[in-house]
Amino acid sequence: MRTKVAIIGSGPSGLLLGQLLTNAGIDNVILDRVNKDYILGRVRAGVLEEGMVGMLDRAGAGARMHKEGLPHDGFSLAFDGRDHRLDLFGLTGKRVMVYGQTELTHDLMDKREATGGVTIYDAGNVAPHEFDVASPYVTYEKDGVTHRIDCDFIAGCDGFHGVSRKSVPESALQTFERVYPFGWLGILADVPPVSHELIYANHPRGFALCSMRSETRSRYYIQCALDEKIEDWSDERFFDELRRRLPVEHAERMVTGPSFEKSIAPLRSFVAEPMRFGKLFLVGDAAHIVPPTGAKGLNLAASDVHYLFDGLQEYYSEKSAAGIDAYSSRALKRVWRAVRFSWSMTTLMHRFPDTGEFGQKIQEAELDYLVSSKAASTALAENYVGLPY
Ligand code: APR
Ligand code: PHB
């Protein structure tokens, strides 16, 4: 088989890139090591920047998001027993869209099938080859046979644990990482959210986040130790702890109910530089990871795809390599700004081993300044709604 762009990974990065290429008449194939149901079974974040909303519309896969998504003009910061709304739209003229990544991925898969895109699921031992020379190709195993796809370019959209970044010589890669000394214990429950907007809570017992997937489905998180075990957290214990970390007004009116998903996620910041090696491009989680505090992971995948697609379209339409040559530096500039913001929000909102009483007072003083200064609120708001592409 031969294609123009071989995409490794059928998550948001791969699907978004694949759809933009298909819409532009640029042949592409997506390979994934698992199947569609497995991908759709993953529980992920759910806050979209206007840039991601625009990319979904550009891909022609935004209809259900506009119909079922929840536009949010603000969110609350809760600390010291108080609750402060940050007016995102008033401060920036922009809003965010609450719409689950699972739904977005489903919409992109449906669009790909409707437009005849080729996706090879259950592709074993996918491997990129010869991407440092003119004739790259990808191999994979399926039904006991090893297949080869010759291509012009390879897009490594295969996430943090994928094969693409690991296929680059270590000497050609520089990585930057910070692992946080805690995780997030999250649940999904079909109960009405405690508030119509998100609540990010700083508390001496630890961080908490009240989010949602719809007006009848809540997504809640509490900071927990990395050695916590899911089996030690009944729903009752989870909700008791969550309520202890929220202002009384929210704790008292919280509707609880049985969770149907419960998981613990570790938090890390990670960036691999550069994001391009000859004919191989790293996209999304394959190149960078952010703690979910700033809701940037999915949104950074969108801006990476924006830069890469523009470069590939320019290459095929104008025979210019300027765009693909600029991909890594353009993407990394926005990546590092989002990594900084996510690190900053995580540092401000969580209880670290060395925070102590003094550190808690400093965090509360910073939050108090932040919500009382238009300049400081605007700075946070413009990062949260998404910096320009
Ligand atoms: N071969 C083929 N496919 C692979 C391989 C491999 N060796 N390794 C991983 N994959 C596939 C995974 O099965 C997954 O479907 O690549 C896909 C990567 O998808 P994501 O991890 O979702 O990464 P990305 O598309 O960049 O989306 C980033 O997803 O994980 C969240 O928080 C993250 O919201 C962010 C978004
Ligand atoms: C979520 O709804 O899963 C979510 C929302 C905002 C975040 C992180 C996760 O910052």
Atom of ligand 2 nearest to the CA of 212: 2
**39 Cβ inside 6 Å of ligand 1:** yes
CA of 275 to the centre of ligand 2 (A): 26
Q: Is the pLDDT of residue 133 over 90?
A: no
- Mean pLDDT score, 71-88: 97
Instruction: Give the pair of three-digit tokens for residue 117.
Output: 């895109």
**187 Cβ inside 6 Å of ligand 2:** no
Domain boundaries, the chain: 5-57+100-176+268-345
Its pTM surpasses 0.85: yes
The reported pLDDT for the residue numbered 377 is 98
CA of 29 to the centre of ligand 2 (A): 31
Amino acid at 243: R
Query: How many whole angstroms separate alpha carbon 376 and alpha carbon 366?
Result: 10
Query: How many whole angstroms separate alpha carbon 32 and alpha carbon 9?
Result: 5
Q: Give the pLDDT confidence of 30-47 residue by residue, as tens digits.
A: 999 999 999 999 888 889
Q: Which fold has domain 5-57+100-176+268-345?
A: FAD/NAD(P)-binding domain (3.50.50)
**381 Cβ inside 6 Å of ligand 1:** no
DSSP E strands, 151-308: 153-156, 174-189, 199-201, 208-212, 218-224, 259-273, 276-277, 280-282, 288-289
Q: Give the pLDDT confidence of 366-382 residue by residue, as tens digits.
A: 999 999 999 999 999 99
Residue 47: nearest ligand to its CA?
A: 2
Contact predicate 224/260, CB 8 Å: no
Q: Give the pLDDT confidence of 278-319 residue by residue, as tens digits.
A: 999 999 999 999 999 999 999 999 999 999 999 999 999 999
Residue 218: nearest ligand to its CA?
A: 2
Q: Give the pLDDT confidence of 329-355 residue by residue, as tens digits.
A: 999 999 999 999 999 999 999 999 999
Catalytically active residues are: 72, 200, 292, 296, 384
Contact predicate 48/96, CB 8 Å: yes
Query: How many whole angstroms separate alpha carbon 269 and alpha carbon 340?
Result: 9
